[in-house]
Amino acid sequence: MEKELQNLQKFYNIVIEFLTTYSFQLIGALIIVFLGWFASKYVYAFLMRMFEKNHFDTTLARFLASSAKVLVLGAMIVIALGKVGISIAPFIAAIGAISLTAGLALQGSVSNYAAGVILIINRPFKVGDTISVASVYGVVEEIKLAYTALRNEDEELITVPNKQMIGDILVNSFEFRVVESVVGVSYEEGPQKAIEIIKGVLESCTDVSSEHRPVVGIAKFGDSAIELGLRYWVPTKSFFKIQYEVNLAIYTALHINGITIPFPQREVRILSEIINQK
C-alpha cells in the first residue's frame, strides 16, 4: 500500500511539474487548435459561397472546399504541436509510410477518385444525360468522386466506377436514346407511300423527340420485302414503352392503308429439262 502511494505521489509530482513548465504552452496550443477549427470552417464556407456564385460544379466545389478545410486545420495542429515542444518529424514519416501502404492497397479506389476529379473538370456528361459505357446504359443520376450512378427504365440503379468512365468508350446521347427498327413492305407496294405513312405516325407521337427529326428510308432490298429503316429518338426513361407503342401504331396505319407486311417467302422452281433427262 505504501509503495502504491509512493508511485501515485511520483505521478502527481510529474504532472504538477509538467503543468508548471508547459501550462502556458498547453493553453497556447489549445487556443491555436480552437482558432484553427473556426478558421477551417470559415475557409470552407467562404469557398462554397464563391463556387456557388460562379456556378461551379457542386461535387468538385465540395471536394476542393473540404480539402482546404482539412489543410488549414492540419496546419494549425502542426503549429500547436510545435508549441508544446513535440517534434512533428516522426509523425510526418509515419504518415508518409501509412499513405504509401494505403495507396498500394487501395490502388483501385485511388484511381476511381482520380478519374472522378478528371470527369468533374472535363465534364463529358452531366446529371440527366443518357450515357452508355461498359456495356450498360442509363440516365446519370449522381456523379461522385469514386463512382457515377445511373438509373435505367426498369428503375435499376447502376453504379459504375469512375475509372471505367475514363478507360472505356463513352457514348452520351443527352436526354434521349435512339430507336433503330426495320419494317418490311411488299415489292408490289410503293415504298414511298409506306415511308410517308410511317413518318406521319412518328411525327404524331408526342413522346418522340421533335428536336431530332425521325429518319425513315429504304434500308435494304430483302429476299421477300423492301426493308424500311426507322431511326427516331425517345426519352431514355421510357425507351421500350414508346418503342412498343410506335410499333403498334405503325402496323395499324399500314394495315388501314392496305400496305402489306409480307412474311418470308421462298420460290421453288422445278426445271423440266432436268426431269426429262432423268
- Residue-wise DSSP of 124-193: S--TT-EEEETTEEEEEEEE-SSEEEEE-TT--EEEEEHHHHHHS--EEEETEEEEEEEEEE-TTS-HHH
Would you say 164 and 133 are in contact if contact means Cβ atoms under 8 Å apart? yes
Spatial distance between the Cα atoms of 13 and 7, rounded to a whole number of angstroms: 10
Confidence (pLDDT) at 107: 59
What class does CATH assign to 2-105? mainly alpha
The CATH code of the domain at 125-174 is 2.30.30.60
Q: How many residues does the chain have?
A: 278
Confidence (pLDDT) at 106: 46
Spatial distance between the Cα atoms of 44 and 158, rounded to a whole number of angstroms: 32
* Grid cell at residue 172: 452520351
Spatial distance between the Cα atoms of 122 and 143, rounded to a whole number of angstroms: 13
Confidence (pLDDT) at 28: 75
Per-residue pLDDT of the chain (278 residues; tens, 9 = 90+): 666 666 666 666 666 665 666 666 777 778 888 888 999 999 989 988 888 888 777 767 777 888 888 888 888 887 777 776 666 666 666 666 666 555 544 456 778 888 888 887 888 888 889 999 988 989 999 888 888 999 988 889 999 999 888 878 889 988 899 999 999 998 887 799 999 999 999 999 999 998 888 999 999 998 888 999 999 999 988 999 999 999 999 999 999 998 988 877 666 666 665 555 55
Q: Which overall architecture, per CATH, does domain 176-256 show?
A: 2-Layer Sandwich (3.30)
Spatial distance between the Cα atoms of 114 and 109, rounded to a whole number of angstroms: 9
DSSP state, 257? Answer: T
DSSP state, 237? Answer: G
Confidence (pLDDT) at 105: 46
Domain ranges for the chain, please list them.
Answer: 2-105, 125-174, 176-256
> Same topology for domains 2-105 and 125-174, yes or no?
no
Can you tell me whether residue 220 is helix, strand or coil? strand
Nearest to 65 by CA among 87, 41, 82, 93: 41
